[in-house]
């Protein structure tokens, strides 16, 4: 069976793409707008370059057509801290996907513990095993409602014991597969 994308509407493309391009890592992005901490998950997310160290995250619009808070905050402050959910916080991740008013904080409303590690970046979510401290780098222009933004990793937090002296890491993040979450497992 060949699917011709010209004949598939956006919702069904999304269902097919997100159920086929699996698993995808989940960027649980924390941003800060004058002390209002925002946290939201994004799975249209992937590394694209090592030097410079770049990741891309594609952010859609809110239902009313306005920018999602994460994108608005990144464009304003140029900073983002990317955390990674694990098995223990699936529920919190799902709650963070609820659209809230711009002046409401997911971190406060859903009582998510955060910790400031670097002065010039938003705090990290305490349960994350690793976090990327990023600055805005560029926007990749595409037609339609999605804004793929490129972020540059300047610093990384990694929990003690999760990186070896040869820089091999051991991170138990979960990924997105269709509408479900999947843990990464060794073959
Ligand atoms: C696992 C998961 C992955 C998601 N991935 C994306 C994504 O890649 N792009 C996007 O625009 N929204 C994505 N969403 C929806 C956003 O998290 C949701 O719109 C959220 O309310 C945005 O919050 P904000 O307005 O605070 O930025 C995802 C939701 C979940 C649960």
Question: How many other CB atoms are found less than 10 A from the CB of residue 84?
Answer: 23
Q: What is the pLDDT of residue 185?
A: 78
* C-alpha dihedral sign at 74, 98, 92, 145: negative
Q: How far is the CA of 164 from the centre of ligand 1 (A)?
A: 32
Q: Is the CB of 31 under 6 A from ligand 1?
A: no
Cα angle vertex 4, ends 59, 142, to 5°?
Answer: 30
Helix (H) / strand (E) containing 20: helix 10-20
To the question of pTM greater than 0.85 for the whole model, the response is yes
130-178 pLDDT tens trace? 999 999 999 999 999 999 999 999 999 999 999 999 999 999 999 999 8
> What 3-state class would DSSP assign to 91?
helix
Q: Is the CB of 127 under 6 A from ligand 1?
A: no
Q: Is the CB of 59 under 6 A from ligand 1?
A: yes
Q: Is residue 81 pLDDT above 90, yes or no?
A: yes
93-143 pLDDT tens trace? 999 999 999 999 999 999 999 999 999 999 999 999 999 999 999 999 999
């Amino acid at each position: 069976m060949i699917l011709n994308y010209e004949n598939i509407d956006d919702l069904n493309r999304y269902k097919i793409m997100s159920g086929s391009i699996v698993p995808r890592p989940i960027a649980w992005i924390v941003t800060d707008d004058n002390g209002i901490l925002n946290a939201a998950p994004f799975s249209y997310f992937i590394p694209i370059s090592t030097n410079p160290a770049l990741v891309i995250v594609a952010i859609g619009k809110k239902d009313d057509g306005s920018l999602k808070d994460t994108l608005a905050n990144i464009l304003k402050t140029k900073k983002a801290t990317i955390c990674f959910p694990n098995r223990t916080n699936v529920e919190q991740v799902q709650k963070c996907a609820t659209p809230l008013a711009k002046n409401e904080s997911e971190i406060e409303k859903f009582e998510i513990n955060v910790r400031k590690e670097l002065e010039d970046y938003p705090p990290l979510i305490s349960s994350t095993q690793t976090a990327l401290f990023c600055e805005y780098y560029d926007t990749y222009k595409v037609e339609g409602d999605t804004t793929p933004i490129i972020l540059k990793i300047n610093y990384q937090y990694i929990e003690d014991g999760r990186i070896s002296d040869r820089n091999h890491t051991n991170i138990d993040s979960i990924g997105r597969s269709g509408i479900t979450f999947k843990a990464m497992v060794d073959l």
